[in-house]
Amino acid sequence: MFSKLLITLLILVVACSVYATPRKDMVADAGIIGLAISNLGYFGNGLSNPNQPSCEYPLNSNVEHLFLGGLWVGAITADGTVRVSTGAQDVSNLVAGDEMREFKDTDDPVQTMSNIQNSNIYNPASLATKHIECYSDDYVQLESGNHTPLGLKIVLRALSWGSPYADDFVILDYAIINISGAELRDVYVGLWTDTTVGNTEITNPYDGQGGTPWNYYDDANGGWQPGDVDGDPNIWMSYEYDFDGDDDMATSWVGNRLLGTIPEVEPEETWIPPVSYNAWTFRDLPGTDDSDTTWTQEGEIEGIALGKYQLMSNGMFTVGETQEVDYTTASDWITLMSTGPFPTIAPNDTVHVTFAITCGADSLSLLANSKVAQVAYDQGFDIPAGPPSPVLELSYDVNSVILNWTPGDSLDAEGQVLATDAPARSPEHHISKITAREDFQGYRVYRYRGETFGGDPYEEATLVAQFDKIDGIGFDTGLPPLIDGQRVFTDTSLLDGFAYWYSVISFSAPDVMAGLPEFQSGFYENAMLVFPGPGPSAPGSEMNVGVFPNPYRAGSLFDNRYGERELGRKIWFTGLPENSTVRVYNLSGDLVRTLHHNSAVSGMESWDILSQPTRAIASGLYVYVVEDLATGDIARGKLVIIK
């Protein structure tokens, strides 16, 4: 039997062009966890796309926590047949999953919205900083013929929040609707997860030629049930972490917590728990929906193999070391957290089952973060928040970054009072939903040097400035200067061509009368990755085009920490006109790469030192030609690449 690792390596040469990864906008990433969402019954992306997180935590850290996950629903139909519809099963890649996935998308449009009033996707119906709502059903006809639909429509609400106290989880709220026209009995609902933890810079799931291949078999898992955790008496949760921590580059934990169901589950047999947790090693999944009797060649019964439905309903909690399996060892573990039965679901009736995909720096953080998710669920997803982050605009100067934003107002252009939820109020005249009073107090400006984070951005980034309005509360330092109707903050003494993250967050003052603490907006509500450098050359002026570093030496500070790999390298062309092209040629006159530059704020464009089509290039002397598309002017230069 092939391992997942070997099968993955065999298909890596075509991975990026074949995988049907979820849409880029369908990522629950308002907080510091990024989870890919689909309307096909699964979540995660099979570690198939280096440009999209599967379940990355912290966001922009290159630490992934999930191969794939999916919804399972099992029931007994009116004719007594046991059926199970699955959004994901034990597969080696996303393409193989397409061949056995038992949910498909419907004609209902996917909705992506936000409850942040100054967001460009603001919708008062949104429940979270980012609210993704998508639809599927199980009317799938597989070529294998192994699936008979139950007749289900699924509405998934994937909810993520930016507030620092609620940014470590994504809530998956499933509404399961019976559209079969007949009653379904003894219904069970579960979440299948193939979690896997590692750093994509250490072990590479995307490119078989770059670095050490991903290790699926070095993860430890387990679970907690009521009575296991002090102060959390109703917990039902699984977890997984990398056993060796990927050289301390992937030490965080991931878990799946069952938050609740509507209606509540009350098993008839009180000795069977309302939740089952089953773990198995990759490829040990039952092959049928129902139990199957096996026979010897002599026609005698050899045994009964459990099906998926029996797995969902067995009341097991598979943790620790048992006589049959040692669940404490590191391996490629697959888990299923399921609940039921719902005795009946009549035609057109709905049950709700809600889970939280949660991450944390360690087991204690994971538990604490999952408990916040439970509170959010118990409160109907009503998470208190303060003023939103401002919407940033960006410009550059030499070794400097200039941030601008509109402060908001309480009146419109005609002097009329704006509605309490008007986007134009935010952030400085934001109205609290709790107190119905303005709650803005000030700004904090964070800066982080580097493209990737190793941990919580609030802990890793530097607080470079804090502004507090003068009102007798707090430090009374005053707000940034207001120039032409915008707040302006300039950060200097930066390194041109190096990566920096910036975030400007808003915060409220504690409200003693209402008993409210300070609330702070989310880091990623407006976080921007920037590369400081001079702006574009003035229109009509003589071009002063340059390139750095020149000569370029592989393994320099402009590479990532693994300089021997072809990915992550950068050469910067500078002094470019606003709308221009850069063409790179070898000494034989062959075109190596064409770059298109179009920016009103930056005169720099990076080159990843790959040819077109994507190939590594040789050491040597190269010629570049810059054309100003507005005037037709040409500038030329040379660069040297040394590997």
Question: Which of these three, 530, 554, 586, is where a domain ends?
Answer: 530
Task: Tally the residues of the chain.
Answer: 643
Pairing of β 152-160 and β 130-137: antiparallel
- As beta bridge partners, residue 63 has 199
Domain assignment of residue 535, yes or no: no
Q: What is the pLDDT of residue 11?
A: 36
Same domain, 405 and 469: yes
| Residue 268 burial by Cβ neighbours in a 10 Å radius (0-12, 13-18, 19+) | exposed
Instruction: Tell whether 409 and 524 lie within a shared domain.
Output: yes
Residues 228 and 205 in one domain: yes
Q: Note whether 312 and 218 are same-domain residues.
A: yes
d(CA 335, CA 333): 7
Same domain, 319 and 411: no
Residues 305 and 176 in one domain: yes
Give the end of a domain, one of 350, 378, 406: 378
Confidence (pLDDT) at 609: 87
Is 387 a member of any domain?
no
* Claim to verify: residue 442 and residue 482 sit in the same structural domain: yes
Q: Are residues 406 and 369 in the same domain?
A: no
Per-residue pLDDT, 608 = 86
pLDDT of residue 90: 92
- pLDDT value for 444: 97
Domain assignment present for residue 128? The answer is yes
- Examine residue 328 and state whether it is found in any structural domain, yes or no: yes
pLDDT average per 10 residues of sequence, the chain (643 residues): 42 35 75 96 92 96 96 96 95 80 93 95 96 96 84 98 96 98 97 96 75 88 96 96 92 98 84 91 90 63 78 94 90 96 97 98 97 96 94 89 96 93 95 92 96 91 96 92 96 90 95 86 95 84 86 63 52 92 94 93 89 80 94 92 85
Report if residue 417 sits inside a domain. Answer: yes
- Encoding tokens for residue 393? 């605009």
Q: What is the CATH number of the domain that holds 552?
A: 2.60.40.4070
Contact 237, 255 (CB under 8 A): yes
Task: Answer for the pair 368, 360: CB distance below 8 angstroms, yes or no.
Answer: yes
Q: Same structural domain for residues 77 and 134?
A: yes
Are 59 and 127 contained in the same domain?
yes
What CATH number does the domain containing 282 carry?
2.70.98.10
Asked if residue 221 is part of any domain, the answer here is: yes
**What is the value of pTM for the model shown?**
0.88
pLDDT of amino acid 458: 93
Under 8 Å between Cβ of 5 and 214: yes
- Structural domains in the chain (count): 3
What is the spatial order of strands in the sheet that 440-449 belongs to? Answer: 462-468, 440-449, 500-508, 528-530
Q: CB neighbours of 594 closer than 8 A, spacing ≥ 6?
A: 581, 582, 583, 584, 612
**Would you say residue 385 lies in a domain?**
no
pLDDT of residue 376: 96
Shared domain for 459 and 436, answered yes or no, is: yes
Same domain, 341 and 404: no
Full domain range(s) for residue 89: 4-378
Residue 414 in domain: yes
CATH code, domain carrying 405? 2.60.40
